[in-house]
Amino acid sequence: MGILRGKLLPPVLAILFSALLCGIALLVSGANPVDAFGVMVSQVGQGTTAVDIINSTGTYYIAALAVAIGFQMNLFNIGVEGQYRVAAVVAAVVGGSLALPPGLHALVVILVAALVGALWAAIPAVLKVTRGVNEVISTIMMNGLALGLAAYLIREDVFGELRGNNIRTPEIPESGWVPGIPLGSAGTVFGLVFLAALLGVGYWVMMNRTRFGFELKASGESATAAAAGGVNAKKMVLVAMLLSGGIAGLVSMPEILGRDHTYNLNFPAGLGFAGIAIALLGRNHPGGIAFGALLWAFLDKSGLALDNVGVPREIVTIMQGAIVLSVVVAYEVVRRFELAAEQRRVGKQLGTVGAS
């Protein structure tokens, strides 16, 4: 009961509340909310939607894991957005200019992406440990710089090439592709979705079975207690940030190696911020994050069907925003409620109820 109330109730309440909110918004704008939600659910069975949801879940999952590592020690890596973008461009350029045997080629591209993501995250990390610069501000600034750098690197006179009215990096040769699982007319599941699952397992092991994970959690629970216990705070910041950035670098890999084989102007934006929302929803727990990523992907892909019933599909973005805000509020309310309950219980045991 305790687990149910403390961990599962808040997200359920938040999702219901957000659905209610969006339902009201739909009613006000003259649409039928039951129809709209019905269309979204039935859309899952149509065309490639189900597979799209799985693929998108993988991408969101990696982004949320990257954020969650920082969150474990109260380190806000708002910069996942920039880290995955720079990593995507550089990895695509490197992949497109190499000639390596199949398998090795893809592996090199993946490693480059992780390395670049980690390097991009290293700048705010170093600034934080050497100069005391707050990581929230510096990563926000790094996000802006990443956008600029990515736009610059795919210029025609730098690394890019013009195809139609789209600019993209040179295509990665077939030896660098990661084959997917073809499901006929339902689409193809990206092979690297399994990388996401693997990262999730690795994250769980790291958090629960290694010394580093313990120190990470300890630093998050109480920085002073961790320092007293011999945890080197600066080292933790540096390692957590580099790990977070390295994983953030992998966010784009399923799409680039599985389908696009290039970085172009249509590259998805906002994955990093979605990752923050999903990590919050899932409370940094690998299972919770998986659920959150699935929910996000479902809302994204099924929301496309809303246009068919005359509802602007942006309603799902409102729903996502409402879910994040209400879930954090719900967690906080439940935490306070439990704190009060515990105080009462302790008070009862001590026989001093009401005296405090």
Least distance (Å) between residue 138 CB and other proteins: 6
Whose Cβ is closer to other proteins: residue 51's or residue 231's?
231
Residue (of 146, 144, 136, 42) closest to 87 by Cα position: 146
Whose Cβ is closer to other proteins: residue 262's or residue 326's?
326
Whose Cβ is closer to other proteins: residue 163's or residue 336's?
336
Whose Cβ is closer to other proteins: residue 257's or residue 322's?
322
How many angstroms separate the CA atoms of 326 and 349, rounded? 34
Q: Extract the tokens encoding 315.
A: 């309603």
Residues 6+ apart with CB under 8 A from 75: 135, 237, 240, 241, 244
How many other CB atoms are there within 10 angstroms of residue 153's CB atom? 17
Whose Cβ is closer to other proteins: residue 89's or residue 192's?
89
Residues 6+ apart with CB under 8 A from 140: 78, 79
Whose Cβ is closer to other proteins: residue 123's or residue 178's?
123
Q: Are 322 and 22 in contact (CB under 8 A)?
A: yes
DSSP annotation of 148 reads H
Least distance (Å) between residue 141 CB and other proteins: 4
How many angstroms separate the CA atoms of 350 and 140, rounded? 49
Least distance (Å) between residue 154 CB and other proteins: 9
Least distance (Å) between residue 21 CB and other proteins: 10
Contact footprint for other proteins (CB under 8 A): 25, 29, 74, 76, 78, 123, 127, 131-134, 136-138, 140-145, 147-149, 151-152, 155, 223-224, 273, 276-277, 280, 312, 314-322, 324-325, 328-329, 332-333, 336
Least distance (Å) between residue 205 CB and other proteins: 27
249 three-class SS: helix
Least distance (Å) between residue 104 CB and other proteins: 33
Whose Cβ is closer to other proteins: residue 108's or residue 126's?
126
Least distance (Å) between residue 187 CB and other proteins: 27
Least distance (Å) between residue 124 CB and other proteins: 9
How many angstroms separate the CA atoms of 290 and 11, rounded? 13
Q: Are 259 and 179 in contact (CB under 8 A)?
A: no
How many angstroms separate the CA atoms of 169 and 277, rounded? 30
Least distance (Å) between residue 210 CB and other proteins: 25
Whose Cβ is closer to other proteins: residue 110's or residue 293's?
293
How many angstroms separate the CA atoms of 241 and 79, rounded? 10
Residue 325: is it exposed, middle or buried by C-beta count within 10 angstroms (0-12/13-18/19+)? middle
Least distance (Å) between residue 139 CB and other proteins: 10
Whose Cβ is closer to other proteins: residue 16's or residue 183's?
16
**Angle 5-8-10 from CA coordinates, rounded to 5°:** 80
**Angle 196-237-225 from CA coordinates, rounded to 5°:** 115
Whose Cβ is closer to other proteins: residue 18's or residue 178's?
18
Q: Are 168 and 264 in contact (CB under 8 A)?
A: yes
